[in-house]
C-alpha cells in the first residue's frame, strides 16, 4: 500500500499536464486562427478601403478673411459692431467724421465753377481776338495808303529838286530855293521810309493777333463747357470729394463674423490701417497637411470626408480636393529649413491640400478658423 500512492500521484500529474498541454494547444490554435482571421480582415479592409483613401489629422480650418480698412483718415464717431457679432454684406460697421470731406467737396465744387467760367471767358475771347485781327488788317491798309502818299511826295520832291538844280546855273532860282528843295526831298525820302516801317509794323501786329487767335482757338476748338479738360479735372475732384464723404461710412464687404475689432469711438483711424476682420463662416475650407508619400495618387476633384474635434465623429463634412499648395509648410516658413549641411537627416515633408466643404453642411454645423480637423481623401472616387 505504501508503494501504490506515489504511482497514483504520478499518473494524476501526467494526466493534468496532458490536459494543460491540450488546453494550451487549443488556445494556440485559436490564437493562430484569430491572427489569421484578423490578417484576412485587414487584407480585405486594405484591398477594399485602406488603399483607396489617405487620411491625416494634421488639418485645420481656414478662410479668405476680409480686412476692414478705412479709405480716409478721420475720427470714429460711431462703432456699431463688436467682436463675435454676425454681419451681412452692406451693414454699417463704423461711422467716421465727414467734416473734412465736406469742406473738400465745397472747395472742389468751387473749382469746378471757376473752370467753367474760365472756359466761357476763353470762348468769348475768340470774338475779341478775331476783331483785333480785322482791325490789324485795316491798319495795314491805312499804312499802305500812307506809303503810297509818301512815295508820291518823294517823287514830287525829286522832280522839284531836279527842276531847281537845272535852273540854278542860269540864275533863274536862288540858292535858298535849291536848299529848300533839297530839304523837302530828304524829308520826303524819310517819310517814305517811315511809311514802309509803318506797313511792316502793321503786318507784324496782325501776325501777332492771328497767333493769339489761333492759340485761343486751340483751347476751345471742338470743346464745350462740360468737355473742357480743366472742367473734367475739376469734375474728377468733385467726384473724389463725394466719394470720400461716402467712405466716411464703413460697411461690411462680406457676410461673416466680426473678429479682432481694433477701433473705439473717438479714435482717429489712419487710411489703410486695419480696424477689424470679418470671417466668412459659410466659405471656410480645410487645409490638410498630408505627407508627401500620401499624395502619389491624389488629384484635384477627388472626394473627401472631414470631421471636426468640435463636433466629433457624428458630424461628417463632405467636400473635394480643389488644389495643392505651391510649396511645403517648411519651405514657406518665415525661416526655411537649411538642409545643405553635412549632418543632414531626411525629414518627411507635408504639403498643404485644400479641401472645399459643402455650404449646406457648413450652415448646419458652422466651423471657426483654426479648428483642428481630420481629413480622408478617397482615391477611388467614392
| Of residues 67 and 331, more confidently modeled | 67
pLDDT digits (tens, 9 = 90+) for 251-261: 999 999 999 99
- Name the average pLDDT for the chain: 83
* Amino acid 265: pLDDT: 93
Does pLDDT of 145 surpass 70? yes
* Amino acid 83: pLDDT: 92
Average pLDDT over residues 77-97: 94
For domain 101-242, give its CATH number from 1.10.287.620, 3.40.50.300, 2.40.70.10, 3.40.630.10.
Answer: 1.10.287.620
Does pLDDT of 3 surpass 60? no
- In the chain, pLDDT over 90 holds for what percent of residues? 38
Does pLDDT of 242 surpass 90? yes
| Range name among 161-165, 286-290, 341-345 with the lowest pLDDT average | 341-345
Does pLDDT of 163 surpass 80? no
Closest CA to 192 of 156, 223, 150, 224: 150
Q: In CATH, what class is 66-98+250-279? A: mainly beta
* Amino acid 1: pLDDT: 45
* Amino acid 124: pLDDT: 76
pLDDT digits (tens, 9 = 90+) for 286-317: 999 998 888 888 899 999 999 998 998 889 99
Average pLDDT over residues 73-89: 93
Quote the pTM value.
Answer: 0.64
Does pLDDT of 154 surpass 90? no
In this prediction, residue 116 has a pLDDT band, given cuts at 50, 70 and 90, of confident
Task: Kindly list the domain boundaries of the chain, sorted by start residue.
Answer: 66-98+250-279, 101-242
Does pLDDT of 15 surpass 70? yes
Average pLDDT over residues 173-180: 73
Amino acid at each position: 500500500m505504501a508503494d501504490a500512492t506515489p504511482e497514483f500521484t504520478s499518473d494524476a500529474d501526467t494526466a493534468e499536464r496532458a490536459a494543460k498541454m491540450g488546453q494550451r494547444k487549443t488556445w494556440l490554435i485559436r490564437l493562430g486562427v484569430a491572427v489569421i482571421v484578423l490578417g484576412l480582415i485587414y487584407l480585405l479592409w486594405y484591398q477594399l478601403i485602406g488603399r483607396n483613401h489617405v487620411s491625416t489629422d494634421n488639418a485645420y480650418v481656414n478662410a479668405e478673411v476680409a480686412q476692414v480698412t478705412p479709405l480716409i483718415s478721420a475720427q470714429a464717431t460711431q462703432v456699431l459692431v463688436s467682436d463675435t457679432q454676425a454681419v451681412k454684406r452692406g451693414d454699417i460697421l463704423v461711422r467716421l467724421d465727414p467734416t473734412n470731406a465736406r469742406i473738400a467737396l465745397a472747395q472742389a465744387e468751387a473749382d469746378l465753377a471757376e473752370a467753367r467760367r474760365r472756359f466761357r471767358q476763353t470762348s468769348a475771347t475768340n470774338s475779341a481776338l478775331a476783331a483785333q485781327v480785322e482791325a490789324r488788317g485795316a491798319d495795314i491798309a491805312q499804312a499802305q495808303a500812307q506809303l503810297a502818299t509818301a512815295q508820291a511826295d518823294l517823287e514830287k520832291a525829286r522832280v522839284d529838286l531836279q527842276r531847281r538844280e537845272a535852273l540854278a546855273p542860269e540864275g533863274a532860282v536862288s540858292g535858298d530855293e535849291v536848299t529848300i528843295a533839297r530839304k523837302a526831298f530828304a524829308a520826303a525820302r524819310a517819310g517814305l521810309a517811315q511809311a514802309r516801317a509803318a506797313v511792316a509794323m502793321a503786318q507784324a501786329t496782325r501776325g501777332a493777333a492771328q497767333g493769339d487767335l489761333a492759340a485761343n482757338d486751340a483751347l476751345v476748338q471742338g470743346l464745350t463747357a462740360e468737355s473742357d479738360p480743366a472742367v473734367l479735372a475739376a469734375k474728377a475732384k468733385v467726384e473724389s470729394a463725394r466719394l470720400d464723404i461716402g467712405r466716411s461710412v464703413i460697411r461690411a464687404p462680406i457676410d461673416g463674423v466680426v473678429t479682432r475689432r481694433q477701433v473705439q469711438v473717438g479714435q482717429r483711424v489712419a487710411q489703410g490701417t486695419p480696424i477689424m476682420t470679418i470671417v466668412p463662416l459659410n466659405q471656410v475650407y480645410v487645409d490638410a497637411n498630408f505627407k508627401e508619400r500620401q499624395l502619389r495618387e491624389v488629384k484635384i476633384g477627388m472626394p473627401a470626408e472631414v470631421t471636426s474635434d468640435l463636433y466629433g465623429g457624428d458630424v461628417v463634412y463632405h467636400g473635394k480636393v480643389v488644389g495643392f499648395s505651391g510649396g511645403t509648410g517648411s519651405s514657406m516658413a518665415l525661416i526655411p529649413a537649411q538642409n545643405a549641411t553635412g549632418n543632414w537627416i531626411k525629414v518627411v515633408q507635408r504639403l498643404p491640400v485644400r479641401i472645399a466643404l459643402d455650404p449646406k453642411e457648413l450652415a448646419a454645423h458652422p466651423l471657426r478658423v483654426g479648428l483642428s480637423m481630420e481629413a480622408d481623401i478617397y482615391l477611388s472616387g467614392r
